[in-house]
Structures are given as C-alpha cells and as structure tokens.
C-alpha cells in the first residue's frame, strides 16, 4: 500500500511548478497594475469576489470550464503525440455546425436524435482535425499552420451559414440559426442559473481519457509522440496513427462545441468558439497534459474570466488584466519547460 506521505512526495513536485507559474504571473501582473496606478491587492480582491461572490458566478465558472476541459483533453491527446493542434476553435465550430444541422434537419424522436447530434459533433470535429492530420501525414504540412488556417475557414463557414443557408427566417436578420428542439437541450442543474449538464459530461470525459491512455491505441499514440523513429521500427503505421490522433483530438473539440450549443445557446451564433481553442492550449500546458490537472487549470482560467468581467464592471480595471495574466502564465510555463530541457541537456 502506498503511504500518504509517499503520495504527497510524488504529487508535490508535479503540482508545485504550475502553482509557482501562476503565482509569478500574478506578481508580475500586480507590478503592471501599480505602474498603471491601480492598487493590485484591491484589484485581485475584486477579481476573487467577482469570481466566487455568488452561487450564480460560481455556476458561470463551471459553465465556462466544461467546454474548456473537454477541449483541453482533446488537445492533450495531440500534444502527447507531439502534434501541435492549434485548431481547437475550428474543430469546436465544425462540431457545433454538424450537430445543429442534424438537430434542425433530421426527423427522429428526441431519444434517438439527441445522441445523433452528439455523434455528429464528434464527427464534425474529427473531420476538421483529420484534414490537418492527413495533410501532415501525406505532405508533411506543419499542423500548427494548417490547423490555424482551418480555424479561419471554420469561422467563416459558420459566419456564412448563420447569415445565409441556416439563418433563422424569423430572427429579424440576426446572424443565428433557429433554436434546437427543447427536448434536445441539456438539462439545467441548478434553477435560475445557466449551469447545465456539460460539467458532468466534462468529468465523464476526464475518466474516459484516463482509461484511454491505458488502451493499446493510447500506447501507440504515446509511442509515436516519444519517437517516430522507434515507432516505425516497432512496426507502427506512423502516418495512420497521426491522422487518428488528430481525428480523436478534433472529435473531442467537436464535443466541446456540442456542449456549448446544447447547454447554453441552443443555436448557432456567429463567432461561437470565441478563442476557447486557444485558451484550452494554455489550460492543457499548465496542467502538463494531466487529466486531473486539466480540471483544476480549466477551473482556474474560467474563474479568472468570470472574475475579470466583474472586476471591470465594478472597479473599472480593464479586463485586459486577465489576458495579461493568461499570457504571463504561458510565458512562465514555457520558461520552465525550456529551463528543465536545458538543464537536462547539460546533465
């Protein structure tokens, strides 16, 4: 049996670096606030109260965390395989489009239609991620570039759809589709809040990913990430594994899109993804791609966003502070990775 002390000794080295990264980000952010003539302690107190000041706000945090967790899990799969999927936004968007199209156009009873929308979302994201995977494996096209470009294509497709073929005819010209049927929507967990079942879905996904890494497919993806050369030698079809990795990673992003549409908006809107895909990268990196870590770091960034919005309204401190802290967290996380790699090289 593992002793409690032994477990602490293992967890601490894993938890400490991200905590320090966050702390440093807040300290540097505080210095910036002083330079701009704000009281940093006051600002941070406002940020905290803004995030946790009421049930409603805590619920908002969870609402934001749900798609972030699912997206970050998807991204962690690609990153573990050393495939830099920057296309969370695009895959999220296409997943949402597929699922809403199915919801609005397929005539089936809700019991069958609801799971079908879910599958459509996965398929949409998987399709979009798969394109980048295919381009990488076939033509050695850099996935950072392709996924980024596919993001723009997805956003413009969405913009065209909600202003064109899929626009709500009774919507007074708003760039949005009709609402999906009420029976298809995710249940609200706490009355008078927007907290929907998405957070539970996200937690289920965490469990699934945990088991995913124990499958032979997970092992294969990990092996390709560790060394393409060894993987080829071990008889693994590396190109096919890369495509599959992007299909799964994109599919997860699609599910995040489903979660956002069927949990909150109930329809497609212009600019639906709103940068979630990029934030999810930070979430995944801060968590060092660990599923449990992803829950915590998604919660942290969601709280930052909710608190930042309140802080701006109440204290007049610009929301950009939140962006700055996000940026600083990235810098510190990456600095640490580079530092350890540098030390590893010298050792």
Partner 1 sequence: MTEYAVRMRKITKRFGALIANDHISLDLRWGSIHGLLGENGAGKTTLMNILYGLYHPDQGEIEVDGHPVRIDSPLQAMELDIGMVHQHFMLVRPFTVTENIVLGLPSARRPFLDLKAATRRIEELSAKYQLKIDPSARIWQLSVGEAQRVEILKNIYLDTRILILDEPTTVLTPQEIRELFEIMRLMKADGKSIILITHKLEEILAVTDEISVLRAGKLVGNTPTDRTTRNELTRMMVGRNVLFDFSRKRTRPGRAVLKARRVSALGDKGLPALREVSFEVRKGEILGVAGVAGNGQKELCQVLSGLRPVTSGRVFLGERDFTNRPPKEFIDNQMAYIPEDRQETGLVMEAGLTKNFIIKNFDRRPFSRRGFLNGPAVKKNAGQLIEEFNIKTVSGQARAKELSGGNQQKVVLAREISSKPKILIANQPTHGLDVGATEYVRQCLLDQRGEGVGVLLISADLDEIFQLSDRIAVIFKGEIMDIIDRPDAQLELVGRLMAGSREEGAA
Q: Of residues 2, 172, 192, 214, which one binds partner 1 by CB under 8 A?
A: 214
Member of 2, 192, 229, 341 binding partner 1 (CB under 8 A)? 229
Contact between 196 and partner 1 by CB under 8 A: the answer reads: no
What's the CA gap between 103 and 116, in Å, rounded? 8
Q: Binding string to partner 1 for residues 231 to 270, with x set by CB under 8 A, is what? A: xxxxxxx---------------------------------
Number of shown-chain residues binding partner 1 (CB under 8 A): 19
Residue 10 in contact with partner 1, rule: CB under 8 A? no
Decide if residue 105 touches partner 1 (CB under 8 A).
Answer: no
Q: What is the CA radius of gyration of the chain?
A: 21
Neighbours of 170 (CB within 10 A): 7
Q: How far apart are CA 147 and CA 87, in angstroms?
A: 4
Among residues 275, 318, 317, 285, the alpha carbon closest in space to that of 21 is found at 285
Q: From the CB of residue 145, how many other CB atoms can be counted at a distance below 10 Å?
A: 14
Q: How far is the CB of 232 from partner 1 (least distance, A)?
A: 6
Q: Is 82 in the site for partner 1 (CB under 8 A)?
A: no
> Is 345 one of the binding residues for partner 1 (CB under 8 A)?
no
> Under the criterion CB under 8 A, does residue 142 sit at the interface with partner 1?
no
> Is residue 77 a contact partner of residue 103, using CB atoms and an 8 Å limit?
no
Instruction: Indicate if the alpha-carbon torsion angle 213, 214, 217, 220 is positive or negative.
Output: positive
Tell me: does residue 217 bind partner 1 (CB under 8 A): yes
Give Cα 60 to chain centroid, integer Å.
Answer: 16
* Pair of tokens at residue 343: 């030390």
Q: Which stretch binds partner 1 (CB under 8 A): 103-111, 208-216, 241-249, 304-312?
A: 208-216
Q: How far is the CB of 9 from partner 1 (least distance, A)?
A: 15
Q: Which residues bind partner 1 (CB under 8 A)?
A: 211, 214-217, 219-220, 223, 226-227, 229-237
């Amino acid at each position: 049996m593992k002793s409690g002390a032994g477990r602490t000794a293992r967890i601490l080295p894993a938890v400490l670096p991200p905590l320090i990264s966050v702390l440093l980000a807040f300290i540097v952010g505080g210095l910036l606030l002083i330079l701009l003539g704000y009281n940093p302690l006051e600002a941070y107190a406002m940020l905290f109260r803004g995030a946790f000041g009421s049930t409603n706000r805590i619920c908002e945090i969870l609402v934001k965390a749900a798609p972030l967790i699912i997206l970050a899990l998807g991204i962690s799969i690609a990153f573990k395989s050393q495939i830099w999927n920057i296309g969370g936004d695009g895959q999220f968007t296409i997943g949402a489009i597929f699922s809403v199209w199915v919801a609005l156009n397929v005539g089936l009873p809700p019991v069958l239609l609801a799971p079908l929308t879910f599958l459509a979302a996965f398929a949409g994201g998987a399709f979009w991620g798969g394109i980048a995977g295919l381009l990488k494996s076939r033509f050695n096209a850099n996935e950072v570039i392709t996924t980024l470009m596919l993001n723009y294509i997805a956003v413009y497709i969405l913009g065209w759809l909600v202003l064109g073929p899929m626009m709500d005819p009774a919507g007074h010209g708003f760039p949005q589709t009709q609402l999906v049927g009420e029976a298809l929507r995710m249940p609200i967990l706490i009355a008078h809040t927007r907290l929907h079942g998405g957070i539970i879905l996200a937690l289920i996904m965490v469990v699934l990913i945990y088991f995913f890494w124990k499958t032979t497919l997970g092992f294969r993806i990990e092996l390709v990430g560790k060394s393409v050369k060894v993987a080829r030698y071990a008889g693994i079809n590396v190109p096919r594994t890369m495509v599959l990795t992007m299909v799964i990673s994109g599919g997860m992003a699609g599910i995040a899109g489903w979660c956002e549409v069927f949990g909150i908006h109930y329809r497609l809107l212009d600019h639906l993804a709103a940068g979630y895909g990029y934030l999810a990268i930070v979430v995944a990196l801060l968590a060092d791609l660990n599923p449990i870590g992803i829950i915590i770091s998604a919660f942290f960034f969601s709280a930052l966003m909710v608190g930042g919005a309140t802080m701006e309204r109440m204290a007049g401190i610009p929301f950009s502070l939140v962006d700055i802290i996000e940026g600083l967290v990235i810098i510190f996380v990456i600095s640490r990775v580079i530092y350890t790699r540098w030390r590893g090289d010298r050792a």
